[in-house]
Amino acid sequence: SAYSTGVGSLAAVHITPVEPRDVKTTYDPESREDILARLGEFLLDSRVLYRGFHPHFFLSTAHTDEDIDRLLALIEEFAHSL
């Protein structure tokens, strides 16, 4: 499953079996590094700049609604492929 958290212009994607509620459920080092690396490769292949091994995204006024919708659709596509 994929979940998002964030505040203000900072958003994070968490691909975990349970909804993130604390640090332990949010950052499970056993499973997240491989998945985040694969997410990074998937986004780069989709022409989205992404710094791998880090689930955080920073939004700015330079991003259009279409940019955000595309990113969300790609993350959803990736999560369904797992």
Give per-residue pLDDT as tens, 6-46.
888 888 877 777 788 887 777 666 656 678 788 888 988 99
Residue bearing tokens 């640090």: 23
Q: Using a cut of 0.75, tell me whether the model's pTM lies above it.
A: no
Beta-sheet pairing, 2-7 with 56-58: unpaired
CA distance 81 to 2: 11
Whether the Cβ atoms of residue 69 and residue 63 lie closer than 8 Å to each other:
no
Tally of CB atoms within 10 A around 54: 10
Which residues is 14 bridged to in the sheet? Answer: 3
